[in-house]
Protein backbone atom coordinates (compact mmCIF):
# COMPACT_ATOMS: atom_id res chain seq x y z
CA UNK A 1 0.00 0.00 0.00
CA UNK A 2 1.30 3.49 -0.81
CA UNK A 3 1.70 6.19 1.78
CA UNK A 4 -0.55 9.26 1.59
CA UNK A 5 0.93 12.20 -0.32
CA UNK A 6 2.12 15.17 1.72
CA UNK A 7 1.20 18.54 0.23
CA UNK A 8 3.31 21.59 1.05
CA UNK A 9 3.11 25.31 0.35
CA UNK A 10 5.91 27.22 -1.42
CA UNK A 11 7.25 28.20 1.99
CA UNK A 12 7.40 24.52 3.04
CA UNK A 13 4.43 24.42 5.45
CA UNK A 14 2.53 21.12 5.36
CA UNK A 15 -1.14 21.41 4.40
CA UNK A 16 -3.70 19.41 6.37
CA UNK A 17 -6.81 17.73 4.96
CA UNK A 18 -8.90 20.42 6.69
CA UNK A 19 -7.06 23.07 4.60
CA UNK A 20 -7.07 21.09 1.34
CA UNK A 21 -10.83 20.37 1.29
CA UNK A 22 -11.94 24.06 1.01
CA UNK A 23 -9.24 24.70 -1.59
CA UNK A 24 -10.37 21.80 -3.75
CA UNK A 25 -14.01 22.94 -3.45
CA UNK A 26 -13.02 26.46 -4.53
CA UNK A 27 -11.11 25.14 -7.54
CA UNK A 28 -14.03 22.92 -8.59
CA UNK A 29 -16.56 25.77 -8.33
CA UNK A 30 -14.48 28.57 -9.88
CA UNK A 31 -13.90 29.02 -13.62
CA UNK A 32 -10.15 29.73 -13.69
CA UNK A 33 -8.31 30.82 -16.84
CA UNK A 34 -5.70 28.07 -17.07
CA UNK A 35 -3.49 29.99 -19.55
CA UNK A 36 -3.15 32.86 -17.09
CA UNK A 37 -2.33 30.52 -14.22
CA UNK A 38 0.33 28.53 -16.09
CA UNK A 39 2.08 31.43 -17.83
CA UNK A 40 5.20 32.48 -15.97
CA UNK A 41 7.71 35.05 -17.07
CA UNK A 42 11.29 34.59 -16.08
CA UNK A 43 14.20 36.96 -16.18
CA UNK A 44 14.18 40.70 -16.44
CA UNK A 45 10.95 42.51 -17.22
CA UNK A 46 10.59 43.93 -20.70
CA UNK A 47 11.59 47.52 -21.33
CA UNK A 48 9.00 48.01 -24.05
CA UNK A 49 6.60 46.09 -26.22
CA UNK A 50 9.18 43.52 -27.33
CA UNK A 51 12.61 42.16 -26.55
CA UNK A 52 15.37 44.74 -26.30
CA UNK A 53 18.32 44.80 -28.69
CA UNK A 54 21.92 44.79 -27.53
CA UNK A 55 23.81 47.51 -29.38
CA UNK A 56 27.58 47.75 -29.05
CA UNK A 57 28.89 51.32 -29.04
CA UNK A 58 32.33 52.84 -28.94
CA UNK A 59 32.96 55.53 -26.31
CA UNK A 60 36.10 57.25 -25.13
CA UNK A 61 37.61 56.36 -21.72
CA UNK A 62 36.65 59.69 -20.09
CA UNK A 63 32.98 59.27 -21.02
CA UNK A 64 32.98 55.66 -19.80
CA UNK A 65 34.53 56.72 -16.49
CA UNK A 66 31.87 59.42 -16.12
CA UNK A 67 29.09 56.90 -16.89
CA UNK A 68 30.43 54.39 -14.37
CA UNK A 69 30.86 57.12 -11.74
CA UNK A 70 27.26 58.23 -12.30
CA UNK A 71 25.95 54.67 -12.14
Per-residue pLDDT reduced to its tens digit, 2-55: 677 888 888 889 988 888 889 889 888 888 887 777 777 777 777 778 777 888
Reported as a pLDDT band with limits 50, 70 and 90, residue 69 is very high
Give the model's pLDDT for residue 61.
95
Of 49, 50, 69, 53, nearest to 61 by C-alpha is 69
Helix (H, G, I), strand (E, B) or coil at 14: strand
CB 20 within 8 A of CB 7: yes
Q: Facing residues of 14 across strands? A: 8
Cα 6 to the center of its chain, rounded Å: 24
Amino acid sequence: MTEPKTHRTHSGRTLTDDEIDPLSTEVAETDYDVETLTTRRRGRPRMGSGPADVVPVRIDPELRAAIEARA
